[in-house]
Structure 1
């Protein structure tokens, strides 16, 4: 009995002490020039700013004048400020909404078209709106051309001139076939299976489909960069000292797009065909 009583008493003391400590920090330990996280009065979304001054009103409440990079100064209660050095995991979901996680994201660029998915078939294969809104009409036609031949198990050649976005057309096609959304949903689907089970999430993409892209070494990593820019793809690069490890990932179905060179393909053609 005695140890339990001591533990309970200590637990109560710790809770009281901790609450007092937080109150003390939040009201009296802010300084002019210090960075902070403050809620925007319009939408409540937290942004990083700098305290330009601290003042009190006639009722004794403490306020900070916070300067933001992309908006005017705001007068915010000291008690509503958060410290930048705190564990970002605790407030990350408050700062970033689903729109912040969309891919692709091109800051400062106006969206050329409305956010609507582009239907490629009646089987639920769509170019996600996150990509489609940046495509030109001929690029949609190119993705549709690739998809038609793929659905009919036929080979094809996309013969556009240089600079017309053949890479983007291929990525649009891959996003449709892999049922990508370009949103938080893709991030969750790309998590290891044991993590999805703990989150009680079922993958809605097609993890068993793997596409092989063969390219000259000079543009191999350009492909990787473009795939990372335009969506959330699980990519393996079969090149260099770690190509054996990446080959095992491909065999285990842990990647969606495998990138390699012509030379590496010749060396591992039999294994990739298995």
Structure 2
């Protein structure tokens, strides 16, 4: 076969594959997606099919494998079981409209309505961290922490020292932090070791561990910032556990944490 015929065969194969990718994109990408998102992905795939399609499959596909479905179902079952004996709300009588909203919330989230108290918003960065550390010092049973970005530095040290003191008292401490959100900051490589040294039960959220055949979409991260103490006191907001300027020298983030009590 002459080189000319080989080249034509390759050209034909390239042509067929190129159009197959574009037809697939037009039929599959817009399904169940916002128009703006669909347009962006379609443009990427139609203009650069051999780059756009791998990126879409990596970060844009809504498909979830069976293992993730199974884990989500197990989580749903655990939540339902934990609250199965709790009524939808603790009030004797409510207006019909309010009660319907509460029942809809219970149906959609699995959580009942309870009575809690807002102790205020912590707006000062260092004082927010110190307030959480002070609350941890009062823990008697457990401390559960879920934070997107975590760095053990001079600003966050009071928080981790409070966790260490809690473990010394025999308080259970569980800590979740995001791998992608944390790995680019100083001290990440030794963070797990330092947490283990103070006997904290820690885990990475949504890690990319290809060497363990575990892969998750890198663009879907867990951005929650939660601290729960004894199931009666909690902090929720936007503050990550890292010094206020992160890696910059001329920009400071303004973050808040709301302190709550209740069941």
In the superposition, the TM-score normalised over structure 1's length comes to 0.24
Q: Which protein shows a greater Rg? A: 1
Greater relative contact order (Cα < 8 A, sep 6+) = 2
